[in-house]
């Protein structure tokens, strides 16, 4: 049974261009996807963004873990997605991040 950690947030469309100047959001999410495989119990990850709204872009990053202990270690590590995304402050504020720990339905 897989365990998933998900973070999500919205970025207003007028702020997307600012995020692409200097430090690209896609680059940071790609950086996370390249580092997480070194973590114990890591299975896979995916990054998604919405295409259905002109006003805001909804961004989701999910990482999958083998068991609850692996997910807990990740949540308490410096590799936690919430911590890495602080690079985008003030556009992505931690209080605007939604995070969830989930168990896959069998």
Which pLDDT tens digit goes with each residue over 19-65? 554 456 677 777 778 888 888 999 999 888 888 877 887 888 899 99
- Cis? peptide before 90, omega within 30° of 0: yes
Q: What is the pTM of this model?
A: 0.77
Residue 7 has pLDDT above 70, yes or no: yes
Residue 3 has pLDDT above 90, yes or no: yes
Mean pLDDT of the 90-99 span: 67
**CA 86 – CA 31 distance, rounded (Å):** 14
């Amino acid at each position: 049974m897989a365990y998933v950690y998900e973070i999500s947030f919205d970025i207003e469309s007028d702020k997307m261009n600012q995020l692409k100047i200097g430090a690209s959001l896609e680059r940071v999410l790609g950086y996370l996807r390249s580092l997480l495989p070194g973590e114990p119990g890591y299975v896979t990850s995916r990054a998604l963004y919405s295409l259905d709204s002109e006003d805001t872009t909804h961004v989701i990053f999910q990482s999958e873990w083998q068991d609850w202990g692996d997910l807990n270690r990740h949540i308490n590590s410096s590799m936690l997605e919430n911590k890495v995304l602080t690079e985008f402050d003030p556009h992505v504020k931690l209080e605007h991040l939604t995070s969830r720990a989930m168990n896959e339905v069998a």
